Amino acid sequence: MTPYADAMIDFRSAVEARDPDAMAATLADDVVFRSPVAFKPYPGKAITAAILRGVLRVFEDFEYVRELTGDDGRDHALVFRARIGDVTVEGCDFLHLDGDGLIDELTVMVRPLSAAQALAAAMADQFERIQREATGG
The three-class DSSP label of residue 90 is strand
Structural domains in the chain, CATH included, are: 5-131 (3.10.450.50)
Q: What is the pLDDT of residue 125?
A: 94
pTM, rounded to two decimals: 0.93
Q: Cis bond leading into 20, ω under 30°? A: no
Residues contacting residue 47 through CB under 8 Å, at least 6 positions apart: 33, 130, 131, 134
The predicted structure's pLDDT at residue 26? 96
Helix (H, G, I), strand (E, B) or coil at 111: strand
Q: Look at residue 3 in the predicted model and tell me its pLDDT.
A: 62
Contact 74, 96 (CB under 8 A): yes
- In sequence order, which residues have a C-beta less than 8 Å from that of residue 29 and are 6 or more positions away? 44, 45
The partner residues of 69 in beta bridges, in order of sequence, read 76
- State the DSSP code for 26: T
The pLDDT of residue 1 is 55
pLDDT at site 121: 96
Per-residue pLDDT of the chain (137 residues; tens, 9 = 90+): 566 777 778 999 999 999 999 999 999 999 999 999 988 999 999 999 999 999 999 999 999 999 999 988 899 999 999 999 999 999 999 999 999 999 999 999 999 999 999 999 999 999 999 999 999 87
Amino acid 2: pLDDT:
62
